[in-house]
Amino acid sequence: MIDKINVRVYAAVLKKRCVLALQEEYAGQQLLKFPGGGLEFGEGILDCLHREFEEELNLKIENLRHFYTQEEFLVSRFRPNEQLLTIYYIAEIVDVDDLIIRDACIEKIEWVSLDSEENPFPLPVDMIVFDLLKQKFL
């Protein structure tokens, strides 16, 4: 039974036909995902995104522009009682030299080429966003 909604906020950071992605382990699975995370109670969506970049990567972001909001019903792969709602922005990093991986779950960062024929993202909405990024920026 679904009894919770989990709002997730992510950003696509683009550089030279590539998008920033995080390689991390979550619930025993290896994931390639966009930077971002879960909205906390009392927090605005953009505040969440700024906090996640600071907490995970020690980065400040700017020039945020809405890119995609998931419209279909989706149950969390990791928590069967949770419905997901994911929102994606395009963002720019203020100073990439500030990058420090602060979250122990993040194994490394990767710049994934938009020219890649295969979609490397395992999560369903990330897959949609990667394809939309390719359409828009290639």
Six-digit token pair at 85? 């709602």
Give me the amino acid identity at 74.
Answer: L
Summarize pLDDT for 18-70 with one digit per residue, the tens: 999 999 987 788 899 999 999 999 999 999 999 999 999 999 999 999 999 99
Q: Is the pTM of this model over 0.85?
A: yes
CATH number at residue 11: 3.90.79.10
- Where in the sequence is the domain holding 69, given as residue range(s)? 4-137
**CA angle, 37 as apex, 137 and 117 as ends, to 5°?**
35
Check pLDDT > 90 for residue 133: yes
DSSP category for residue 101: -
The total of structural domains in the chain comes to 1
Summarize pLDDT for 86-130 with one digit per residue, the tens: 999 999 999 999 999 999 999 999 999 999 999 999 999 999 999
Residue whose structure tokens are 């938009």 = 114
